[in-house]
Structure 1
Amino acid sequence: MREVARVGAAQVAPVFFDAGATLEKTIKAVAEAGRLGLDLLVFPETYFTAYPYWRGSVSVRQSTELAVRMMESAVRWNGPEMEAVGRAAREAGTNVVIGINEKDDRTGSETIYNTLVFISRDGRILGRHRKLMPTHSERVYWGMGDARDLKVFEFDFARVGGLICYEHHMSLLRAALGFMGEEVHVAVWPGWWSMDGHLGAKYGDPTNLRSEIDAAIREYAV
């Protein structure tokens, strides 16, 4: 692993359910990362092109309609959108990890997955990681990943792995990446999150609304 590396978190929202418009924003963000000299730029969970923030807060009918739009705007992990991100990464000279709603590549399947795609600064799509177990009502939207996509990737500055959201509470996943020699860890969550009223909330103090996530990330680092 290189002694010093520059990494960044893309503070950018997708254009919901619009892969083309989201791609335009992505390319601009990657170009900016190149100008900043970043070795790695990370986008949020399911940045392409929606996290189902509405789950549990809209009617069943609305939820179904939104789920259909979410599925229709899903992309392939090695499809034209990610190839375009790869070209942008090559032009910028920046490695990229990006969250997507992934269309299953099996013929006839309509399943989508909560997936991280790993792209090198020379434009190669190195691989993917599918969230192994969607969290509570996320299972309405995403299929389960499996151990085949639990791996680390050789970037030019470090061996990089990643987990998605509540996977950071799964001790065996963390151990597996450690045994694979992970040196830099990508921890992605939805673009906005508060524990206020959430079933995972363990604190009464309103100043600690995000402390559960903060603790999970710090625990992983330790």
Structure 2
Amino acid sequence: MKTISAVVEQYIKKKPFLQSALAQGIINLTSLSRQIRPEIADVLGKDVKDGAIVMALKRLSDDLEFRATHRIVKVLKNIGEITVRSNLTDYTFLSSETILAQQAKLLEKVHENQDIFYTSSRGVNEINIVVSNTLDNVVEDFFKDERCTQKATNLSSVTVKLPAENVSVPGIYYFIFQRLAWEGIILYEVISTTNEFTILVNDEQVDMAFRTIKDLKTL
């Protein structure tokens, strides 16, 4: 038999932003209960009072506040070095039989100057390359026979070193990207390794992105 608490919890879990806001105590529970009461009543097959939903939300928010933030905050407080790089260009090419050979030639150029920023990721159908804009002419020469589907300029990157335990705590990336989304920061690319991730943003938004991530260490 379904209980009000179980149905309310299932409803909240399907709405990540609502779940996070509830955990942070920034939602009026009475107003929320009135809004979701028709759906809760429909699942239960009977009328439900607002007070019962408020009580279920209160118990859930107390539990979520501990579960959703305790381990995550512990990891975020141990965020390591945050590195910002500017003057970047983001290229997206369709995969082809020849593109890896061109990428190898580009890597040789990158290795000639260790101050050059370079990162790349490969999907099923696309290859993404992010480089310092001083290499734009080189990239466009090497890849002139490849199909470029997107080129974005005037970008900056924020690279974050995460503690090793990030791989065993669910919700780390969601928590970080949620904060960035709340600040209206548009992510052009997200590139990650096991204990490090890089976001690519507009030059105008890099300061806000840096502050938003840095402030996570003070939660």
For the aligned pair, the TM-score class normalised by the smaller chain equals under 0.3
Structure with bigger helix share is 2
Give the structure, 1 or 2, with the largest relative contact order (CA under 8 Å, sep 6 or more): 2
Structure with bigger strand share is 2
Q: Which has the larger radius of gyration?
A: 2
Q: What is the TM-score when the length of structure 2 is the normalising length?
A: 0.24
